[in-house]
Structure 1
Amino acid sequence: MAHSLALFFSLLIFILSITSEAAPSIGINYGRVANDLPPPSKVVQLLKSQGITHVKLYDTDATVLSALSNTGIKVVVAMPNELLSSAAGDQSFADNWVKANISAYHPATQIEAIAVGNEVFVDPNNTTNYLVPAMNNVYNSLKKLNLHNDIKISSPIALSALSSSYPTSSGSFKSDLVEPVIKPMLEFLRKTGSYLMVNAYPFFAYAANSDKINLSYALFENNPGVVDSGNGFKYNSLFDAQVDAVNAATSALQYGDIKIVVSETGWPSKGDSNEIGASEANAASYNGNLVKRVLNGSGTPLRPNDPLNVFLFALFNENQKPGPTSERNYGLFYPTEQKVYDIPLTVAEVAAAPSSEVGKSQVPTKGGTWCVANGGAGAEKLQAALDYACGEGGADCAPIQKGATCYDPNTLEAHASYAFNSYYQKMSRASGTCNFGGAGYVVTQPPRFGKCEFPTGY
């Protein structure tokens, strides 16, 4: 009997481990290139309140790792690109780094993976040759501490590592990367039972080819789909097509057994005038529909039985990131911890949300969208946008004048919301007419401030 019970529990543990590894998951990237973010202790409370159980970092900051201790949140940490040459050339450097940054915190902080470098192939400092030797040395360090079975090692690659990605079936790596680094890296991942991290951004492809790519295809919305002429599969989202392009590329090198984890993906809520498609509505649509798509448990057309694991980019808007405006506006939250837009992040939230609310793109729908003020934009920005809407914009602001039907509640956010919506409806809900420099955003439920009803069209 004891033998039977032991066998039963061993089998149960084995089944649970397989189920856990195969389960889809949504995590989030916690970047900190900003000077206005809440302290890590508050960030951890935010993660827990949102039901986020996986987080990816870009370093091994002691304060952050300590804050994540005993939370049950699984953590991916990173060795920055600038340390790769030292880790590659000196085993003792890797040993000391792992002791100070990994074993000092694990297992109280549940470190599940180390990202050795990030998008190394496009690093202007040319660290490509150090990548695989560094990965090997970090692995050897983990092995010395008997942590190699608990913690995976990988390295996020950008889609620019591919020489071809369309059609999906033609996916292939750049020839100058294959022998020096891609094959050795894939061999390392196979040997250690790890996975390939991929940063995939349909936004970049859409922004560069908006005349050829259907926005709904990029946002996981209803669309005719794209049939791959090479493999015959029909793709209903650009995201799936991008992931399978990498799957096709690994398969072409006989490494089709390597699982892919999407280490970054997202959509900016704001961008420069030339960044087509960057808006709160589209960001909400992309990320909301992505969560729903991932948590339904299905794989891609090429890997239908391989559930997706995805890390959204990013937790916060980061005000010190260089580059175009979009780079500072990928966050799901403002530094105040207020949501930039509302999307589900867990299976329970996806199940509870009406399908029309999971993702909302900035595509006009008859009577179905309204524009409201973003309270987190600040009083100065809201007032300037309100003045524009009621002045040059030609919005009907009579109802928010003192004594009129929509004067109460007498708050800047309520008045701005009414004016923004008036302008938005006047412009036939055209794309971009609810932005107001980040002061407004689109909703699909009729807003209500006091007893004031918001019109749906003119």
Structure 2
Amino acid sequence: MAISIYFSLLLIFLSHFPSSHAEPFIGVNIGQVADNLPPPTETVKLLKSSSIEKVRLYGADPAIIKALAGTGIGIVIGAVNQLLPAMQNVQKALEAASLGGKIKVSTVHSMTVLGSSDPPSSGSFAPGSQAGLKGILQFLSDTGSPFTINPYPFFAYRDDTRPETLAFCLFQPNPGRVDGNTGIKYTNMFDAQVDAVHSALKSMGFEKVEIVVAETGWPSRGDPNEVGPSVDNAKAYNGNLIAHLKSMVGTPLMPGKSVDTYIFALYDENLKPGPSSERAFGLFKTDLSMAYDAGLAKSSGSSSNSSSQTPSGKVTSTGWCVPRNGSTDQQLQASLDWACGQGIDCGPIQPGGACFEPNNVASHAAFAMNMYFQKSPKKPTDCDFSQTATLTSQNPSYNSCVYPGGGGGAGSTGVMNKYVSSDKLESKQNGAVEPKVYSSLSFLLIFVVSLIFRAN
């Protein structure tokens, strides 16, 4: 089939896949092209010690699936198959078992499925793939299943090694790139690639089909002739990506929600062919230690009441770091992503946190900028953020959202954060969260595994 190069893996999501989310999830791919992987039970312990909520498997390995049962970790299972007919057959079997609403079926695509992606608003599918895609997209729309894609800014940088391109790919401060059709300035490659996919879906009449990022990542090492692989770059990309997803700002064309994303990969795979970078995408080493800190450790809490005093009691804070007047949302988003990517606690601005409301870029950036500044040596340059931040003597704390810092004076109740509107302050916060659907029943796991092998 002419389009088979684009669609090689049937995906089965063993959890509800709602059309919108109360909070994003960050998943990870678990590859098995290696001879030194830890036992599945140890892998599950590692996952539970992290903030990873979902995993994607490249096959229905009974040992891994059994170890994951009952953990609350969502599972996506891949199986090689013949596209649309196989998807339809699996869907029929799920519906016959009254599982059609609980388990979603999709197929993964590489970015080569796009014929145009720059600027993002002009995104369209390659002409040779559109005929085959039409039926698949209709299936996804009818079943509420996601369109899954593998965007890799790493490969984009490999083809354009200018310094500004690297910063653009790593979510680091950069001049940005303006979409000439919409006037939107993009500050990172990930958003640009995802929005190009969104535009392609829209061009075929399937704008409402959700997008899931099935793979994205950055290698921590490579061959001498490879450009881009390094521990610093891998940490920057994955750490800043995670912070970006947690900020819930979304992309310019899909604001206010994070695209569900599976990072590649949990471990290095020492038997993969190709350049050294192919064997170096792991977030963790096979001895279960971190390859680098990408910010996936579970938060120890959302308290923001860290002391701003030295052990001797001397006050070192000189105020609060907040956004500078005139800074754009795009500039503040870049600063927000960078700050949260430096290891500070951005939990309070995540859904359910004391500082999540109001849910806008300026408010979240204010909190992140200040947290970074308070943890820094507090030099003037620590509250600069490419000239988007400034120091203030007014406490921006509000309600139960506490900004650490200031001059150490006691009894301050703070002034209302100017980025908080009064209507947002009255918003109901009842602590309700989206219910998680655990694919823990052995019957469900066995049933899906049997479907995969039966469909082959």
Alignment TM-score, normalising by the size of structure 2: 0.62
RMSD (Å), alpha carbons: 2.4
Matched, 1:283 2:266: no
Q: Deviations over 1:276-332 (max 9, x none)?
A: 111000000000000000011111101113322111100001101111111100000
Give distance in 1, aligned partners of 2:26 and 2:17. 18
Sequence identity (%): 43
**Residue 233 of structure 1: how far off its partner (Å):** 1.1
Change (3 A) 1:17 1:196: closer
Residues 200 and 262, structure 1, Cα contact 8 Å, conserved in 2? yes
Which residue is equivalent to 2:151? 200
Question: Of 136, 139, 160, which residue of structure 1 is paired with 2:91?
Answer: 139
If each structure's helix is expressed as a fraction of its own residues, which one has the higher value?
1
Shift in alpha-carbon separation, 1:192–1:177, aligned structure 2, 3 A: same
Partner residue of 1:174 out of 123, 126, 135 = 126
1:173–1:267: structure 2 CA closer, same or farther, 3 Å change rule? Answer: same
1:30·1:55 contact (CA, 8 Å) conserved in 2?
A: yes
- Determine the C-alpha separation between the residues in 2 that align with 1:34 and 1:212: 34
1:364-406 CA-partner distances (Å, limit 9, x unpaired) = xxxxxxxxxxxxxxxxxxxxxxxxxxxxxxxxxxxxxxxxxxx
Match of 2:269 among 304, 318, 322: 318
Q: Distance in 2 between matches of 1:213 and 1:275?
A: 18
Which residue of 212, 218, 221 corresponds with 1:261? 212
Q: Alpha-carbon deviation of 1:346?
A: 6.1
* 1:265 CA displacement: 0.4
Q: Is contact 1:22–1:307 with CA below 8 Å preserved after alignment? A: no
2:62 is equivalent to residue 62 of structure 1: yes
Q: How does 1:46-57 map to 2 (within 5 A)?
A: 46-57=46-57
Structure 1 residue 146, shift from structure 2 partner: 1.2
Whole-angstrom distance in 2 between the partners of 1:357 and 1:341: 16
CA spacing shift, 1:19–1:136, aligned 2, 3 Å: closer
Task: Give 1:31-430 correspondences, 5 Å limit.
Answer: 31-79=31-79, 81=80, 84=81, 130-179=82-131, 181-211=132-162, 214-345=165-296, 348=299, 358=341
Q: Which amino acid aligns with 2:241?
A: L
**Partner Cα distance (2:300, 2:119) in 1:** 34
Gaps of 5+ in 1: 1-15, 85-129, 361-458
Count of aligned positions: 296
Question: What is the letter of the counterpart of residue 299 of structure 1?
Answer: G
Q: Does structure 2 conserve the Cα–Cα contact (< 8 Å) formed by 1:266 and 1:312?
A: yes
Work out the CA distance in 2 between the residues paired with 1:22 and 1:253: 28
Inter-partner Cα distance in structure 2 for 1:357 and 1:295 = 9
Deviation digits for residues 8-31 of structure 1, max 9, x if unmatched?
A: xxxxxxxx9979734211111111
- Please say which of residues 334-343 and 35-44 is displaced more in the overlay: 334-343
8 Å CA contact retained: 2:25, 2:52: no
Partner Cα separation in structure 2 for residue 300 and residue 351 of structure 1: 26
Q: Report the CA distance between 1:358 and its aligned residue.
A: 2.2
From the superposition, tell whether residues 356 and 213 of structure 1 become closer, same or farther in structure 2 (CA, over 3 Å): closer
Cα 1:138/1:18, change in 2 over 3 Å: closer
**TM-score, normalised with respect to structure 1:** 0.61
Partner Cα distance (1:265, 1:284) in 2: 13
- Secondary structure of the residue aligned to 2:213 is strand
Letter of the 1:231 counterpart: T
SS at match of 2:27: strand
Q: Would you say the 8 A contact 1:262–1:310 is kept in 2?
A: yes
- Residue by residue over 1:44-83, the C-alpha shift from the partner in whole angstroms, topping out at 9 and shown as x without a partner, is 001001132211111111000000011111111111x2xx
CA 1:262–1:347 in 2, change beyond 3 Å: closer, same or farther?
A: farther
Task: Report SS of the residue matched to 1:284.
Answer: helix
